[in-house]
Structure 1
Amino acid sequence: MPRERLLESGAAALSDLELVALLLGSGLPGYDVFDVARSLLGHFGSLRAMLDAQREEFESLRGIGPAKASTLVAVLELARRALAEQLEEKPLIDSPGAVEDYLRLLIGGRGYEVFVCLFLDVRHRLIRTEESTRGSLTRMAVYPREIVRRALMLNAASLIVAHNHPSGAVQPSASDRRLTRVLRETLALVEVQLVDHLIIGTQETFSFARHGLD
């Protein structure tokens, strides 16, 4: 059983199926917990897609009621918060990999575009993460003036911005490049530095900073 294997060998020794079964705890009459876990993984196609799902998506599936759905959603939220705590403890410019991991977990699996801002203090530590704009599968309106206003309200010295590409491709579009220039120039007027603009895919990430921030 997964619990016994975990105690003997550690969580890393368990398969995806066993880990999900352990989280679920129980199945249904004539439909054991491994059947429920297998069905869940099959429905979403991957662990990442499953963990990015909303509670309502889980509850529509056989064997997943409100209690099990809440447990699954809570696991992802705990992971996000743990990564956010890690980012608050040290300068973000010293840990670009942790930033990208956090953003992939936060927005990488969304089925629509989301634009987020990571507001940083003078030591490049995270003050707050905010979702600035939510769009459709392919379009999103971003308002630099509002981002500047929030940066001033939070007394941010710099920020990292990011958005996802639901298609999975991370190559920036002409509008992505234009937005990066406008944001950098607008923030500079109030002496706030744009550290990076990241495009987040399901597997890959594009960093404007690594490509000249232009």
Structure 2
Amino acid sequence: MTDHACTHDDAPTQAPPPRPRARVVDAARESARSGPSALVRGKWHKNDMPRERLIERGPSVLSDTEMIVLVLGSGLPGHDVFDVARVLLDRFGSMRAMLDATYPDFDGIRGLGPAKKAQLLAIMEMARRSLDDKMRKRSLMNSPETVENYLRLLIGGRPQEVFVSLFLDARHRLIRCEESAQGSFTRMAVYPREIVRRALSVNAASLIVAHNHPSGAVQPSASDCRLTHTLRDALALIDVQLIDHLVIGADSVYSFARAGWP
């Protein structure tokens, strides 16, 4: 059984382009500029506050900035919470990228103390655990959208390549999800024999594997295709089915199974 280097680009390695910063749209502040109804004598009109708008119209009407404002609740004394939210989005580029943040990643942001950092991390972990719980209670063969959402949340915003294996039972429910390999921006060594060994040790009946492309482009490389076929054949020898290999981008997903295993 051979080992493979899984890459998202067969061209010579080069430094990745800088990730573009997201354009932050602060709906509440834009509303304040657009008409007198948002502010009354220098104060927010109650109906224009994010919390009240969420209660009346649902969370989808809020901007990313307002969602973060609601999570934070308030900034430290002397720091406007809207300014803190905009700085957060400016640093990470998007809410999606914030999901991969660790505690030290929030260092240096004025107006964000230890309690607020912990609060943000807790909210993000709740989102991950919620999807994980869904996957453990249903057949993933009938929930491809849940799988893709979970993997986008898990590895879609990672700055380096990560290869993950989802080990499933005979009813295609999740047994466990593990990182099988980590790499650089452009290259990652994946060892099929280790994935086969783990499948045997957790008594998996089938697998879904996935890796991300930090560039955002999800078209698989020739190395991705070779790895997929090698892993599929190796698992078949121990009577374990490879259900799919997904390539995860920031906004899209490529499925080898849907593409007919090219």
Residue matched to 1:191: 239
Please give the per-residue CA displacement for 1:31-74, whole angstroms capped at 9, x wherever unaligned. 21111112211222221122222221112322222221221122
State the Cα distance separating 1:205 from its structure 2 match: 0.6
Whether the 8 Å contact between 1:164 and 1:201 is mirrored in structure 2 is yes
- Larger RCO (alpha carbons 8 Å, 6+ apart): 2
Q: Any idea what the Cα deviations from partners look like across 1:157-197, whole Å, max 9, x if unmatched?
A: 00000000000011111110010011001111100000000
Question: Which residue is 1:143 aligned to?
Answer: 191
**Number of residue equivalences:** 214
Give 1:81's match in structure 2, choosing from 123, 129, 139.
129
1:45 to 89, 93, 110: 93
Q: Does the aligned pair in 1 maintain the 2:76–2:112 contact within 8 Å?
A: no
Among candidates 36, 40, 63, match of residue 111 of structure 2: 63
Where does the alignment leave 5 or more consecutive residues of structure 2 unmatched?
Answer: 1-48
- Cα displacement string for residues 98-128 of structure 1 (whole angstroms, at most 9, x for unaligned residues): 1111100000000000000000111111111
Which has more radius of gyration? Answer: 2
Q: Residues 19-38 of structure 1: CA distance to partner in whole angstroms, max 9, x if unpaired?
A: 10111122133321111112
Shift of 1:201: 0.3
Identical positions, percent: 67
Matched position secondary structure for 1:116: strand
Whole-Å separation in 2 of the counterparts to 1:12 and 1:165: 28
Task: Give how far 1:84 is off.
Answer: 1.2
Q: Compute the displacement of 1:4 (Å).
A: 3.3
Runs of 5+ consecutive residues of structure 1 not aligned to the other structure = none
The yes-or-no answer on 1:134 pairing with 2:178 is no
SS in 1 for 2:149: helix
Match of 1:11 in 2: 59
2: distance between equivalents of 1:171 and 1:58? Answer: 33
Instruction: Give me the TM-score of the superposition, normalised by structure 1.
Output: 0.94
**Alignment of 1:114 onto 2:162:** yes
SS in 1 for 2:181: strand
Computed over aligned residues only, the root mean square deviation of the Cα atoms, in angstroms, reads 1.4
Counterpart position of 1:156: 204
Q: In structure 2, how many angstroms separate the alpha carbons of the residues matched to 1:200 and 1:60?
A: 31
Check the 8 A contact 1:51/1:72 in 2, yes or no. no
The answer to which of 2-11 and 70-79 deviates more is 2-11
Q: In structure 1, the residue corresponding to 2:180 is in which secondary structure?
A: strand
